[in-house]
Chains A and B, each alone.
Chain A
Amino acid sequence: MAMAETSEAPGIGTDDFGISEREPHQTSESSKRKAIAEFDPNKMRSTKPGIKRLILILSVLFSFLLGLPFLLKSVEIYRAPLPFRAIDSLLNGIESNLVVLPCRFQVVFVGSDDEEFSESRAEKLELLILERMRKLTGSSPVCGSCGNNYTVSVTMESGKDCIRNRNAGNGCLRRCGEIDISAFGGDLKDDEAVDEFLDSVLRSDVDCTDSGGKLYTVVMMNRDEGSRVVVGKHRHAWILGKVEEIEVVSMITNIFVNFFMNGGKKDGSIQPEFMPVGADGRIVLSFSLLNADPHDWVYDWDFQRIDEILLAPVVEALAPISNIRVESQVLYHTPKSSFAQWDEKLASYIFTAKDLPFFVNSNEWHLDTSIAAGGRSKVLQFVVYIPSAKECPLLLRLPNGEMSMTNGFISPMWGGVIVWNSPSCLRDSESKLPAVHALSSQDLHAISEIFMGQIRQLFGLNSDNVQFAGSGISNVLPSQRGFAEWELDVLSRRHTCFNLLSCATTLGSLSRLVQSLPRMIIMDEIGKQVKYSLEAASLAQSNSSLGIYDASAMSSRQARTLAEDAFFHPSIMSISYYSFEHFFAIYTPFFLPVLLHVLLAAIKEWKRYKQERAKYLAWKANAGVES
């Protein structure tokens, strides 16, 4: 019925066509002139065609078209607006130039009275040092360094007199004439004592420590004594002895760039991808003592003591960078998964560096993540492995053929392993059950020192200070807290930089993800987290440009945490977003047939109208001719 009626118009059309085809045959017999005058209802009409139905159909069609935006609006899913442009600009900004905190360097020449100091000499020295530093740092900044954002000032003093170069006069340098070596009674060769003395002098002006970056000092003491270069625990180093000027300049720039700026790293060492800090700014140091086979011997440790005496200062020192928890466990029946070879010469079992990837036995070493930590904290595993009697003196051979001194290794972002051999390597006795031995306090001390080195390595520093021998540095004082102040500064700079980098990349991937899935629901909370993360990131950037270390570290950590929270929000992880397929499945059963009807009807009505109008016009023309 419906079809029949809708197809009315074409029906008439073909009808008309057929008749008009026939017409020549009919009219060929009669005269043509008469035919024109004759009124043919199939070809002409005397009335104007009505447009009621056309208007009706068109109004239905247009109301559908007008309703379409409302429909789309009503089925729209909620997507919190994300500041895509701000994210992109942050990402581009941070990737193109890394966040670097400024540093200030100061050279103090303490001369004997007979030496002549002049302003021009100070300026010359400053220029020399700056030039060399530019050459050493290179053009591309790395995370943790000061980039090109540093100043150098040179002070020369002898007695109460002192000369400064021009740009040192920002009032934040210490007063002149305080470094009076003659007042220092102790032996200048006693590094610790000198260090403390210099610290007490240089620390005197507390009020301007943190503005414009940390201040690092090299004190050049011109004495007729043996040459000595020492890097202290705090933010200073000193050079002792008569040294040529060129040599002094190279020494000073070496200390500035390689130590104070880059954390004592030697060239060629691998820059860590990221700091081993969890996304929530926490680290769990999980210490495990692994007795490979308790039938041979069982060792126990007094971890309480390690924790309180050795680890507590480190935890405290690293507090500005991350919140650290310490936990321990003792595990048994945990063999390693690689084989060791017997070496006759050393009378011990040897495992080599290429076995290391298989050393950690993930099947049997149930080290586990921590329940107490939770969230996205980073767990660093530190393992003391006590081999069984079958493989008792177990030693690590380094790739260069030497035996490892620490007998341990690290795996970046995972932790470290130390192999500790039982002193006698002999089973207590065959049948008796083994007694529980405790690790002696010397052993504990040695182990915890290795641990300390491993922690430092995991943070991207040198494991110990022995490695500096030969580079012109006589001594680098180790800190009681495991990290010297200048090292902590490097870590803080690196932490800020990595955090902002990670925040920017996380937000970048989030924005890419969100843009690639146009029908994913985005909760308001995510929008808020992204907003706050961006705010924290910009705060960190502005703080870092001002050189406020702690505040920028804190807000960068916050920015990263919020970015990760937004990215790992449970609503994003769920796949229950409202897909286009679903949308079509629901709306096509109604809209497809209805729209077909409406469109066809509109087309037919329009055709019919045109045809009828042509008829009318024809009639009109005819009438005009007739009249």
Chain B
Amino acid sequence: MLFLRSILFFLLLSHYFFAPIFSGSTEEEEFSEELLLKPLPDRKVLAHFHFDSRAPPSTTHGRHHRIFPKAIAQLVQKFRIREMELSFTQGRWNYERWGGFDPVSSANAKPPGVELWAVFDVPSDQVDSTWKNLTHTLSGLFCASINFLESSTAYASPNWSFRPFSGVLRYGALPREAICTENLTPWLKLLPCRDKAGLSTLMDRPSIYRGFYHSQRLKVISTESGSEDRVELGILLEQTLTVVLQPGELQPSWSLSSIFGRKITGKCVLAKSSTVFIGFERNLISELNDLWKNNEKNWVAETTSGSWNNPVFQLSLSPGRVIEEVNNGHGGNSAILYEFSIENYSDYEPFDVSLTWKRPLFWSPPRAPFHVSRFLMGSGNARGSIAITLKSTELIKGFMGDNVIKDGCKVRIDVFQVVPWYVKVYSHTLQIFVDGEAQIVSEIIEKIWVSPSEDRVSPGLMEMFLRFPCNMKSAVLTIEFDKGLLHIDEYPPDANQGFDIPSAVISFPDFEASMHFLKEHSSESPLLSKFQEKNRVLSYTEILLVPLATPDFSMPYNVITFTCTVFALYFGSMLNVLRRRAGEEERFLKSQASRKVGPLPQLLSKLFGKLRGRPAKASQSLSPSSSILTPKFILKVLLVAGIAVAWHYFSE
């Protein structure tokens, strides 16, 4: 049923909403900047910058660009990129609190570290070498260690679940890459105004890196090579920066200057449009509507003295436009965007909008159908298992009403997971539990693609299409693995920290996160038309930290030293045994025995002689030096030793 509905829905929508996206082939280079600010249910604020640059196809407009960054145009041309996405992320997107079923989260929530995927327009045997060159170029361009994705153990070529390009797509992630300003600066350099003018002046480094989540993304779509008979669009570069910030300690009210510490001093003069949106999501609007119903007061409010006022909140500036989402059956409530154009603001009159709440409001974010989490089980350095849990957020019930009860209803979940080769996953140990009960794996799995890891050559890749009953509360997937042993030179400098396994991607193809607007609104704004694209809902899981057995790195030297010492000892004694003259020694001992002394001093003198490396002197009783070993002397030595022990004992 769900499919039918969604298919019908898309057939309908695609006519209306996708037309403007693909007909956006403009003859001019264009740049536009937009900022979406959204209050989040946990009193934080989401700021989503969206910069969009377009270049017309080079076949008709040449290679020289006015606004479009030269670096990206050359990159696309040199590596024949059809599509590429690179993201630098710090912190984890909180799907529970910040939402997992809206266009921002499904397109801009990224796994921590670096994630890169690219689709090339080259013959399949050249894809790997192109990818390697691309990683090196990007690491130079963005001052990051993306070149670590060059080794074949670091990237995978997903077949169908990640994106619908098989064979020419490569995917790689570096979970441990640290993100900082040195990555942001080259990213800003791609904007015509950098952070000198326009919305990007808000990017005060301390403010944005203080946030809870920081994701800087770059997406390139090109039809330059044009092997398909699509419309020639040229190159489209989409740069987004998504940050989640805390406005104040307790106050949920905020203004631009309070969260960024800066104000907008006019637009970037090269931008076609420069817009700030303040977005209220559906659940917040439904709360507001409930309030209105109770209070009999219209919250969609009145403009008083330049500000936008209603009983619940106040906007310090009156929005240029109020854009309402076209209702598409989400319980009758639709999201609202307040649009502010910053065309007319300048240094003397900076733009600084604020949102003040007049009464506390609680709402729940739009959650993904399942809450996803991944963790490790087992202990020790030999084996363990990975578990992925899916917890229903009751969204499906709301979505489908009574259909859930029926048995036939199934929901599809795609799992895409790349594990490094030293985590040797055993596919046959895959177990699936639904609501705590073990299931027959083949009944749940619709389609599975496993490309096993090869030691030091390629990572393990697992793609699964799973079907679960709609009324399922929770599901667990477990899979066991053995930990591999690395060569001593394969360990990173901080080997004891453990090894990171990149995030798995769990997507819900039955659900599409998109917002729909009237054509007159969306055609002007790349951000809104981006929101209209059908993004499948997906969640990235946590990164796993696998501790591997770490060797003692000084071991080779220890082994060398110990074995060599043993060998040297053995060799020395062998040599001495060979040289030994048994007869002579016996004669010598006899001659000693003839001069008898007391048994104890003789023994001692023998021992002492041995220790000193020379045989006890036969003439000791005659020579004056023999007085060393008299009982008197031994007594003295014992006395001194006793004093030393006592002193040591008492001094402690």
Contact = CB atoms under 8 A, between A and B. Distances in A.
A571 interface: no
A433 interface: yes
A297 to B, nearest CB: 10
B578 A56 contact: yes
B628 interface: no
B63 A327 contact: yes
Contacts of A3: 613
6 contacts: A15-B618, A327-B63, A327-B70, A329-B69, A332-B193, A366-B194
Interface string A326-357: 01111011000000000000000000000000
B581 interface: yes
Interface of B: 62-67, 69-71, 74-75, 77-78, 137, 141, 189, 192-194, 196-197, 266-267, 269-270, 343-344, 346, 557, 560-561, 563-565, 567-569, 571-573, 575-576, 578-581, 585, 609-610, 613-615, 618-619
Given A15-B618, A594-B568, A332 B192 contact: yes
A300 B573 CA distance: 90
B575 A18 contact: no
Given A15-B618, A307-B64, A333-B197, A5 B576 contact: yes
Q: Which 3 A-B pairs have the closest CB atoms?
A: A589-B564, A590-B564, A593-B568
A460 interface: no
Interface string A88-123: 000000000000000000000000000000000000
Interface size class of A (residues with CB under 8 A): 35 or more
B64 A303 contact: yes
A433 to B, nearest CB: 5
Given A11-B614, A371-B71, A371-B74, A586 B567 contact: no
A4 interface: yes
A53 B572 contact: no
Contacts of B569: 593
Contacts of B613: 3-4, 7
Contacts of A330: 65-67
Contacts of B585: 8
Nearest to A434: B269
B66 A57 contact: no
A327 B74 contact: yes
A594 B75 contact: no
Contacts of B65: 328-330
A307 B65 CA distance: 13
Nearest to B197: A333
B568 A294 contact: no
B141 A371 contact: yes
Contacts of A5: 576, 579-580
B196 A333 contact: yes
Contacts, number: 126
B579 A589 contact: no
Contact of A597 (B192, B196, B269, B575): B575
B64 A56 contact: no
Contacts of A372: 74, 77-78
A6 interface: yes
Contacts of B69: 329
A8 B567 contact: no
A487 interface: no
Nearest to B77: A372
Nearest to A10: B614
A51 to B, nearest CB: 12
Contact of B576 (A300, A366, A592, A601): A601
Interface string A571-610: 0000000000000011001101110011001000100000
- With a 10 A CB-CB cut-off, give which of A15, A60, A332, A586 has the most chain B CB atoms: A332
A562 B175 CA distance: 40
A594 B572 CA distance: 6
A437 B67 CA distance: 14
A589 B63 contact: no
A30 interface: no
A590 B567 contact: yes
Given A3-B613, A333-B196, A370-B74, 17 more contacts: A1-B576, A7-B613, A8-B585, A10-B614, A15-B618, A53-B581, A294-B193, A298-B269, A330-B67, A332-B192, A333-B193, A372-B74, A372-B78, A431-B346, A433-B343, A590-B563, A605-B579
Given A56-B579, A371-B137, A294 B64 contact: no
B62 A295 contact: no
Contacts of A366: 189, 194
B649 to A, nearest CB: 34
B64 A585 contact: no
Contact of A329 (B70, B267, B581): B70
B70 A294 contact: no
Given A5-B579, A601-B579, A328 B610 contact: no
Interface string A308-339: 00000000000000000001111011000000
Interface in A282-310: 294-295, 298, 300, 303-304, 307
A294 B561 CA distance: 70
B56 to A, nearest CB: 12
A366 B565 CA distance: 61
B568 A433 contact: no
B568 A2 contact: no
A190 interface: no
Contacts of A368: 70-71, 189
- With a 10 A CB-CB cut-off, give which of A6, A298, A366, A371 has the most chain B CB atoms: A371
A8 B270 contact: no
A21 to B, nearest CB: 11
A589 B568 contact: yes
A327 B568 CA distance: 69
B207 to A, nearest CB: 21
A431 B269 CA distance: 12
Nearest to B269: A294
A5 B582 CA distance: 11
A597 B193 contact: no
B615 A4 contact: yes
B611 to A, nearest CB: 9
B269 A60 contact: no
A298 B270 contact: yes
- With a 10 A CB-CB cut-off, give which of B267, B580, B585, B615 has the most chain A CB atoms: B615
